[in-house]
Structure 1
Amino acid sequence: MVRASGGHIRELAKDGDDNLGFDLKEDSISCRFVPKNPMAKKTITKWRCAIAQLKELARQVDTVILATDEDREGEIIAWHLKEVLNLRNPQRITYREITPAAVKASLKHPRSLDMNLVNATLARSVLDKLVGFRGSPLVWKLNNGAKSIGRVQ
């Protein structure tokens, strides 16, 4: 049984202090997520209607496999799916092309979610918002046409 997520389904919320969508604590960061866009919201809503069905299906199988690109973005997509669907120990497979050969080859090498990649992506998102939301007003005062700043700029 195969289902498609349509890629990124969640992003940091725009609430809390400075609309950052996360809380900075002394030794941790607590993130809040919302659907990324109307299509993602529709996907999540459909899942909420089907979560009971998907959970029941997950109970009937030995393994739930999340398949995405092999990069950090693919890992965070898989992690968001795990979180939204409340999966305990999903397996991960990755491939660079959607062909029967590539999918079959990837199924021979499943792995767990790489939490180092997940945490790196979460840290990048938090840093982008923290720098961008707090730093962009400084750039606006320069009146040089810049609209925002971020980790890259």
Structure 2
Amino acid sequence: MIKRLLVVESPGKIKKLSQILGSDWKVLASCGHIRELSNEGDDSLGFIMDGSNVRCNYVPRDQRAKETIQKLKSAVRQVDEVVLATDPDREGETIAWHLKETLGLKEPKRVIYTEITASAVQSAIANPRKLDQI
């Protein structure tokens, strides 16, 4: 039974990562950004100002993103642990945050590797961190 889910950005990485991680893992891709600000809110900018608070309204980017979100939500329900392995840059961190929010993940593990080799991926999995929200 698959117990862990690794979410990456690129579907081109799935096969190699699946081979490295083995049968206890399912590897899926977000295909980049899955949502964006809506055209609602103040001046149709996707957010509402309430005093000093800002409330953002996000929507799926397109039909493919809607389908990806549903596929990921279904996978999350079938595993014990979710690990986010989006790219190691600010954009990747943002995509990981959107995944956390959209999929309802409480404290997802975030891993970083700069090459898809067994040693780099296994080291990253062994040393997860929290999302960087600063």
Partner amino acid, structure 2, of 1:46: K
Among residues 66, 74, 83, which one is paired with 1:65 in the alignment? 83
Structure 2 distance, partners of 1:36, 1:18, is 19
The alpha-carbon deviation at position 79 of structure 1 amounts to: 1.1
**In the TM superposition, what are the counterparts of 1:103-142 in structure 2 within 5 Å?**
103-116=121-134
Residues 68 and 95 in structure 1, CA contact (< 8 A), matched pair in contact too: no
Residues 28 and 72 in structure 2, CA contact (< 8 A), matched pair in contact too: no
Q: Name the TM-score, length of structure 1 as normaliser.
A: 0.63
Q: Identity over the aligned pairs, expressed in percent?
A: 50
Greater Cα radius of gyration, structure 1 or 2: 1
The alpha-carbon deviation at position 18 of structure 1 amounts to: 1.5
Q: Name the TM-score, length of structure 2 as normaliser.
A: 0.71
The alpha-carbon deviation at position 100 of structure 1 amounts to: 2.4
The alpha-carbon deviation at position 13 of structure 1 amounts to: 0.7
Among residues 111, 115, 118, which one is paired with 1:100 in the alignment? 118
Structure 1 distance, partners of 2:116, 2:71, is 24
Superposed structure 1 runs of 4+ greater than 4 Å apart: none
Higher strand share: 2
Residue aligned with 1:94, SS: coil
In structure 1, runs of 5+ residues without a counterpart are 117-153
Residues 42 and 48 in structure 2, CA contact (< 8 A), matched pair in contact too: yes
Distance 1:74 1:24, change over 3 A: same
Higher helix share: 1
Q: Which residue of 2 aligns with 1:14?
A: 39
Residue aligned with 1:95, SS: coil
Among residues 26, 34, 50, which one is paired with 2:51 in the alignment? 26
Residues 83 and 110 in structure 2, CA contact (< 8 A), matched pair in contact too: yes
